[in-house]
Amino acid sequence: MLKATAIARSRASTIGWIGLGAMGHPMALNLFTKTYLAHQSQSGNTRIQSPKYTICEQDEGRVSSFLSELREKGGSELASSVERVGNGREMAKAASRIITMLPSTPQVESVYLDGTDGILPGLLALSDDTPSLTSSSPSSSPRSQEIKEGGSESVQRVSSSTTYSSGLSSGKTPLIDSSITITPPSSSASTSAGAIGAHTLLVDCTTLSPTSATSIAQRIHQETLSRVFMLDAPVSGGTVAAKKGELTIMFGSPSAAATGLAVPLLKTMAKGDRVVYCGGNGKGVGVKVCNNLILAINQIALAEGLALGESLGIDPVLLHDVINTSSGQSWSSRVNPPLKEIDGSPASRDYAGGFQSRLMLKDAGLALEAAAVLDLPIPMTWAAKSIYEAVCRESEGEWATKDFSVVYEWIKKKQLEGVERGWKADPTET
């Protein structure tokens, strides 16, 4: 029993991260370092257990790079304490807070739902030799049921013998209210959802199909009897904002209780009040897909305008500056201009890094998929997707991994080639 209690305590205080790619790396770095350093500032409070950290990433190079930077920012003690697991199932057993940042829908479905290595099977396999991490069954308490159905009440602290916190605040009071009670395990069900704990939190930051995001969350909630909370929390701002911890995070949440647990974690990666509640499960991803639909079109529009201006003999930097003080301005023109003359622009580094063209192609496809479900025409998005498909084929596929603002080079190339009639303005038509 002592061993089981120790396991429960360790899991309760562990934050897990799956996916250390271009966005996942800086996001996890901010989450880990900020929670760790905040706890260090509260070290006088013996009732707050130090957070533990676990990662899951298959690429050895990414793991090495992440741990190296974590050591620089958070110190060797933090970096050396990070544990690593091989799959979602193992992560579910190790951590009660799990955040994922994955490429797209297929990977999310696999990590969460795979019958052998998924997070869901791992949660369901938590046996009754691990004490229940819950103060009461969420479905049995009238108050809990009210919260489950989206009530406005905030999460209450639970009377407990031991308090655990991720220690997220900058002051003396922890932002995350994750009090738990270690109760004896049930003797009736070795793999029951009751052993999972009411405070297990899953947050997926992937941009994926809104329909899939909703169905995955519904399955998690149904099979765990709502003792596990799952949110979709995609991000906006790109790698620059991710590194600075200044992302905008839009999230869909099943309840006020889930929101109360998730927001303090999300704030470590976002700027100010840019953690935005969008509605129930799937709504966060829905907002992100709409946002990226606009972004895809804006970047192409900027590229066309700059390319036309260059052909007219206009100084591209001058044109860029005028655009940014006029009605044509956008995030693309202010933050992501495709001009090598501008320091820090994607073009100044040969479009390396940033938001890859293949990912923008993916997001345009997600928007079209969402619209198709509703039988809605979105012609500009269809055109944008066809352009990014062409961009991704350039240079034997090399442009697929360049920043999506490389569409500017594609448009200039087409102008030089003398593209087919459909791309030209015809002065004879009225």
Sequential DSSP letters for 113-154: H-TTT-HHHHHHT--TTS-EE-SS-TTT-HHHHHHHTT-SPP
Residue 311 one-letter amino acid: S
Q: What is the C-alpha to C-alpha distance for residues 100 and 54, in angstroms, rounded to an integer? A: 12
Residue matched to tokens 């057993």 = 93
DSSP H or E stretch at residue 174:
none
Q: What is the C-alpha to C-alpha distance for residues 4 and 123, in angstroms, rounded to an integer? A: 16
Q: Which of 231, 277, 283, 282 is closest to 258 using CA atoms? A: 231
Q: Which residues are catalytic?
A: 288
> Do the beta carbons of residue 111 and residue 100 sit within 8 Å?
yes
Q: What is the C-alpha to C-alpha distance for residues 85 and 243, in angstroms, rounded to an integer? A: 24
Burial class (CB in 10 A: 0-12, 13-18, 19+), 158: middle
Q: What is the C-alpha to C-alpha distance for residues 137 and 144, in angstroms, rounded to an integer? A: 8
**CA neighbours closer than 13 Å in the CB half-sphere of residue 357:** 30
Sequential DSSP letters for 362-398: HHHHHHHHHHHHTT---HHHHHHHHHHHHHHHGGGGG
